Structure 1
Amino acid sequence: MSKEPSARLIEQRLRNRIYEILEILADCDAGVNLVGINGYFNLFDDFLHRPSVEPCMSVLSKDERAIVLELADLLEAACAAIPDFTKAEFIESGWPQQIAPQAREARTLFLRRGLFSEEFDESEPGQPIAVPAGR
């Protein structure tokens, strides 16, 4: 019987998924081609629910939180600027080229701390949370 993951572990996994999506966004046009237009926008939204990313998501640093929210605003602006666009129209618009530098900056920021474990709670990447004996 498997044990349910802790809230902390779920947050760690969410942060890691956000990092993976930053990789796609950082790849500019290739990222759009990899996941398609719906994936490009929806993958990020699937893991970035503003209330969960704002101060209560403890695995994101203040700077990580700020840059991810800025990137979300940029994606929203791109979506609003070109309603009902195709993948080709989106690439031609230049939006992926505008989004990619911000995504690369966010990716670099995430990598300064590293990625969290997918298996156990950590206070910081590579630093497991000590469980008191007897539990």
Structure 2
Amino acid sequence: MEEISKQLLYQRLRNRVIELLDLYSSLDDIATLGAFETIDMVDDWLPLDYAAAPKVFSEKERVVIAKFLMLSNAAADATDEDTWKVDWFRDSEEWVNVSRFSEQALAVFCERGRFSEESEEDFPS
């Protein structure tokens, strides 16, 4: 197995966070995977240790991740049973809130965009 640097690992994690926000920004996409699967995806990727690669996530990005985590936890707490019904998600205030916020959070991440998964980005000092 190839060893990679912490920075490259966190660049890849950043890209997974962008994909996660993209997923959560669409209730139709969430319904395709189901409530429990999308909840588990958040647990798989977040939270992150920003100190491990401090320049990969900006302060603004860290703030939106924290709010996303708060809203996604509220949606998870409001979900007693797994469902794939898009109307159920549309009727859930918590899921609508996290979905709407995910659109905004995705826009924040798009400012710097995706990072390379193969080589370390050169961040200005």
The TM tier, using the shorter chain, reads 0.7 to 0.9
Kept in 1, the 8 Å contact 2:25–2:99? The answer is yes
Residue 115 of structure 1: aligned partner: 114
Deviation at 1:63, TM superposition (A): 0.6
Alignment counterpart, residue 80 of structure 1, candidates 71, 74, 77: 77
Which runs of structure 2 are paired with 1:3-82 in the superposition (5 Å)?
3-27=2-26, 29-50=27-48, 52-53=49-50, 55-58=51-54, 59-82=56-79
Q: Structure 1: which 4+ aligned runs deviate by more than 4 Å?
A: none
Asked which structure has the greater CA Rg, the reply is 1
Identity across the alignment (%): 28
Deviation at 1:7, TM superposition (A): 0.8
Q: Which runs of 5+ in 2 are unaligned?
A: none
Can you list the C-alpha shifts for 1:11-69, whole angstroms capped at 9, x where unaligned? 00000000001000001x2122222112211112211125x14x554211001011011
Give the secondary-structure state (helix, strand or coil) at the position aligned to 1:120: coil
Kept in 2, the 8 Å contact 1:16–1:116? The answer is yes
When normalised by structure 1's length, the TM-score is 0.78
Change (3 A) 1:32 1:116: same
Kept in 1, the 8 Å contact 2:6–2:53? The answer is no
Kept in 2, the 8 Å contact 1:31–1:40? The answer is no
Change (3 A) 1:11 1:86: same
Alpha-carbon distance in structure 2 between the residues aligned to 1:104 and 1:116? 19
Instruction: Give the aligned CA root-mean-square deviation in angstroms.
Output: 2.1
Greater RCO (Cα-Cα under 8 Å, separation 6 or more): 2
Is structure 2 residue 96 aligned with structure 1 residue 97?
yes
When normalised by structure 2's length, the TM-score is 0.83
